[in-house]
Structure 1
Amino acid sequence: MMAHGVLLILLGLLLQPEPGTASYPLLMDLVIKALEDLEQKALATEATPRAFSSLLSVQKTRAHDLFHSFLFERQDLKVIKLGPDSLSPELQGLLERVTQHGVQDGQEHGVVLAPDGSTVAVQPLLAGLEAGLQGRRMVNLPLNSTVFPWDARTISPGLGVASPDVTSPNGEDAWPEANATLPTSVDSLLAITLARDLGLTFLQNTQTQGHPGLGSEGCWDQLSAPQTFTLLEPKASPLTAAFLNGALDGVLLGDYLSRTPEPRPPLSLLLSQYYGGGAGVAREPKLRSNFRRQNAAALTSAATLAQEVLGALLLLQRLEPTHPQLKDTNLGQMTRVARHASKEFTEAFLECPAIHPRCRWGAEPYQGQPTPLKLPLGFLYVHHTYIPAPPCTSFSHCATNMRSMQRYHQKDRGWDDIGYSFVVGSDGYVYEGRGWHKVGAHTLGHNSRGFGVAIVGNYTAELPTETALRAVRDELPRCALRSGYLRPDYKVLGHRQLVNTLCPGEALFNLLRTWPRFASDVKQRAARGASLKRPRDEPRPALLETDSQ
């Protein structure tokens, strides 16, 4: 009950904002701090009624959100008001900034920086918390309405459409395939966090012939006290990486809350465990923000999500017949959009690794003029860093390692940049080095033919974590194939097969030899035998394992 009271108190506070107050940096830790303060106030006032608790309703743009009201059957809205000193002006200002999400002029609003280095939209996170607190449930669709573009009498739940020959006025097929199954209900949790936004965004881009720009990343003005988040793709859709992060966190935490009996944990404790990078929620080490993509992929499937997206669009069309994106949209169009959106989201986001861009780990600029790669490439070269030797298990640790390696490569080696294309931590993240488009300095004589991927640590006698191995073996190449960066017949090689070195370590190399893409017919040879021209930042190395050439 505590969580409902806290959200009601926060609702009361934000309905009476104090203009002109200063705001703290946009950090998840401070959002958690505000919730913790409110929980203490709730205890003092016994403000724990089970009632409508959504922070989303404080947004003027969603004050009359019929979709939200229908899913949660909003009743007995009783705002609990505390005194003006319930929160400091700074924390109140912070909360006012983060409860509305939007993208405008290349900047993303309503997002905060989490301790794991990810940027998270607060709005879908809060929606998921509310859905979990109210109990995740299947909400029946009102199929008997004449607003829907079919006669409900022709539909048998679970059997599909009975009249597949009906067409829309413009001649398009108004129905999905004859064996399609129409949803008769929607999952309140998936609908409010993800399904509606997925459907509307992909529908809008279908209508305008645009591209959704799914999962666009961005850069903070500063990492210590972030205030402004600028997208790397200025024309990105609202389905940014930050929004999808918040939506997935809302789904995962909402699902957890719905399965947890009373008394449920305070929200501040739940969020601190989830984002803190420690033992995880309720000491479940994988229930942490670092692993949101893997956990969400295990919780739903593309087929299930497609049904939820279609159900959300149908419900929204029923509730808002004049909705600009839905008023002239038929069932066949919505079905195709739902399937396309769920497929793209699953393949381009859930099944891809989360890659922290260079600005996130504090990279120095590239020195000189980079040489572009001629894509697609045919090889993936696997390295270990050797030094740093310990695996990095947190964002702060991995980011420090990245800056250290870049300094070494630029200052000591005299290279233009960190040599690797990508670096994989044991924290659940991949870190961008030279990336997909620039020739690296990782495998002497072969840098233009493949991507160099290093795992932080020394793997002479032990193996990396399964999380790191999965990123190198499955996730990174799968997304490179999908994007056209790797050839379909690409091969995996250990650094030692092309350069006289012990890299990537005996234990890791022996494991590489069991991977399906491993090129066993490539024999080890000295670097001096390479025939390709070296880039200017690729000096002849000493034959040491620590050398990233």
Structure 2
Amino acid sequence: MFPWLLLALSVCARPGTAVSPAVPPRHMDSLLDILDALESPARGSFPGTAAALGRGLGVCSTPGCRAVLGEPPGILERPPVVTPGQWQLLTELLRHDPATPERGAVLAPDGSTVALGPLLAGIEVGLRSSGFGRLLPTLDLPADPGLAVTIAEALGTSFLLAEGGDSNATALGPDGCWGDVENPQNYTLRGPPSPVPDPVAIGAMDGVVLGAQLARGPLPVAELLRGYYGTGNGSEAGRPPSSYRYWDFGALVGQGQLEKEVAAVLGVLRTLSPTPELLRDVGTPEVAAVARRAAREFSERYVGTGGVAP
């Protein structure tokens, strides 16, 4: 789908709420400006700077993600190269709120809306797999770190909540729209919320794809993201690699593997102390059934037909 059409489909009919002009728009370009400053070789930075900052601000705050990547660093102070407005934007985007995960999303140059939490978590796994930062811990269960921190835990949790809640509860989606794509600040879901709205699913798939790329050899995150999403308003000739995310993710992760990873992560959560309340009375057969349904419905919605329009 053409980027300009994705942008048109992403516009809400009603205007958004005014935001202080000191806070940059929720656009991937705003993140890239921050990363350019943070990753400047002149300041002695390295490719893992962005991932470390993300962890300190709240990325990967769920029990399963912490079991895979370890505890985050302590409370961070604003780096001098980041303006107060940029720091406010980062804090709002990366502070995990399970009730409103779409608040962590930005509009990408290709027209898609991407949640930064799973994206940066997948990038961190890729960087650490290639030798940057601490080694990844070895889990007792066969859980793939990249899938665990991007989509497997979120999928398992979402479908468990849907199974145990209202019969009309949704476990995936919906999509949403921006009040103003020229100055994206307010993103509104188009239907009943779930823990995995479309921006989270898209960010997770991108995190898996880019994490796999980084595992083969690290490079600055800003360079990685520019090459993947394109630049400017996405109107340049040719399709950016991100427009193939559904096929690329499907090539890396089949439905059977995704089912296995969801079950594995739920198994990891059951071994934690204390056991998450959501899993206290859930046995192995129930875990297997949830994993099967989650993998099937995710694959059907996002992978089997080439994905939904972001």
TM-score relative to the length of structure 1: 0.47
1:316 is displaced (CA, Å) by 1.1
Say if 2:68 is the partner of 1:71: yes
CA distance in 2, matches of 1:243, 1:123: 8
Q: What corresponds to 2:42 in structure 1? A: 44
- Structure 1: gaps spanning 5 or more residues: 1-19, 143-183, 279-284, 358-549
Structure 2 residue 107 is matched with structure 1 residue 113? yes
The answer to whether the Cα contact below 8 Å between 1:203 and 1:337 also exists between their aligned partners in 2 is: yes
More helix by share: 2
Match status 1:130 vs 2:124? yes
| Conserved 8 A contact 2:126-2:213 | yes
For 2:23, what is the secondary structure of its paired residue? Answer: coil
Which of these residues, 89, 92, 97, is aligned with residue 94 of structure 1? 89
Equivalent residue number for residue 270 of structure 1: 224
Equivalent residue, structure 1, for 2:10:
none
2:278 counterpart of 1:325: yes
Q: What is the one-letter code of the residue matched to 1:316?
A: L
Percentage of pairs with the same residue: 33
Instruction: Point out where structure 2 has 5 or more consecutive residues left out of the alignment.
Output: 1-19, 233-237
> Letter of the aligned partner of 1:267 in structure 2?
V
Deviation at 1:72, TM superposition (A): 2.6
Aligned twin of 1:472: none
Map 1:368-517 → 2, pairs under 5 A: none
One-letter identity of the residue aligned with 1:46: G
- Conservation of the 8 A alpha-carbon contact between 2:115 and 2:203: yes
Q: Which residue of 1 aligns with 2:14?
A: none
Q: Secondary structure at the match of 2:129?
A: coil
Q: Does 1:55 align with 2:54?
A: yes
Question: Deviation string for 1:382-424 (max 9, x for gaps)?
Answer: xxxxxxxxxxxxxxxxxxxxxxxxxxxxxxxxxxxxxxxxxxx
1:191 and 2:141 are equivalent in the alignment = no
AA paired with 2:259?
Answer: A
Counterpart contact for 1:138–1:186, Cα < 8 Å = no
**Alpha-carbon distance in 1 for matches of 2:143, 2:59:** 26
| Residues 106-255 of structure 1 mapped to structure 2, 5 A cutoff | 108-135=102-129, 140-142=138-140, 184-208=141-165, 209-233=167-191, 235-255=192-212
Contact 1:140-1:185 at 8 Å conserved across structures: no
Rate the CA distance shift 1:355–1:307 in 2: closer, same or farther, 3 A. Answer: closer
Deviations 1:144-193 (A, max 9, x none): xxxxxxxxxxxxxxxxxxxxxxxxxxxxxxxxxxxxxxxx3210000010
1:303 and 2:256 correspond: yes
Deviation string, structure 1 residues 206-251 (Cα, Å, up to 9, x no partner): 1113432523111111110011111110x22021110001001100
Deviation sequence 1:46-65 (CA, Å, 0-9, x none): 24497982613422992xx5
2:48–2:124 CA contact under 8 A, matched in 1:
no
Answer whether contact 1:191 1:312 (CA < 8 A) is retained. yes
Q: Residue 202 of structure 1 contacts residue 337 of structure 1 at CA under 8 Å; is this kept in 2? A: yes
The CA deviation at 1:343 is 0.6
Query: Secondary structure, in 3 states, of the residue corresponding to 2:279?
Result: coil
Is residue 2:247 matched to residue 1:294?
yes
Q: In structure 2, do the counterparts of structure 1 residues 309 and 266 end up closer, same or farther at CA, with 3 Å as the change threshold?
A: same
**1:27-76 superposed Cα distances (whole Å, 9 cap, x missing partner):** 01111111011112xx33424497982613422992xx55333313459x
Give yes or no for contact 1:103–1:109 (8 Å, CA) kept in 2: no
TM-score, L = length of structure 2 = 0.80
Query: What displacement does 1:304 show?
Result: 0.6
Relative distance call for 1:320 and 1:220 in structure 2 (3 A) is farther
Residue 11 of structure 2 is matched in structure 1 by none
**Match of 2:102, SS?**
strand
1:305 & 1:60 partners in 2: Cα distance? 22
Cα distance in structure 1, aligned partners of 2:265 and 2:194: 19
The 1-side partners of 2:209 and 2:129 are apart by: 13
**For 2:274, what is the secondary structure of its paired residue?**
coil
| Alignment-mate amino acid for residue 99 of structure 1 | L
SS of aligned partner of 1:325: helix
> How far 1:87 sits from its partner (Å)?
1.0
Answer 1 or 2: which has greater strand percent.
Answer: 1
| Aligned match for 1:314, one of 234, 246, 267 | 267
Q: State which structure, 1 or 2, has the greater radius of gyration over its C-alpha atoms.
A: 1
What SS is found at the alignment partner of 1:230?
strand
Give 2:123's aligned amino acid: L
Residues 1:251 and 1:54: Cα distance change in structure 2 (over 3 Å): farther
Distance 1:217 1:289 in 2: 17
Q: What does 1:329-344 align with in structure 2 at a 5 Å threshold?
A: 329-344=282-297
Query: CA contact under 8 A between 2:59 and 2:94: conserved in structure 1?
Result: no
Partner of 1:521: none
| Secondary structure in structure 1 of the residue aligned to 2:177 | strand
Given residue 36 of structure 2, which amino acid in structure 1 is its aligned partner? E
Cα distance per residue 1:338-369 (max 9 Å; x no partner): 01100110112211344448xxxxxxxxxxxx
Structure with greater contact order relative to length (CA < 8 Å, sep ≥ 6): 2
Q: Which residue identity lines up with residue 240 of structure 1 in the other structure?
A: P
3-state SS of 2:95 partner:
coil
Partner Cα separation in structure 1 for residue 47 and residue 113 of structure 2: 32
**Offset of 1:80 from its aligned partner?**
8.4
Flag the 1:222–1:354 CA change in 2: closer, same or farther, 3 A: farther
Q: Classify 1:338/1:223 alpha carbon distance in 2 versus 1 (closer, same or farther; 3 Å).
A: same
**RMSD after superposition:** 3.1
Q: Name the amino acid aligned to 1:87.
A: V
- SS of aligned partner of 1:109: helix
CA change 1:54–1:248 in 2 (3 A) is farther
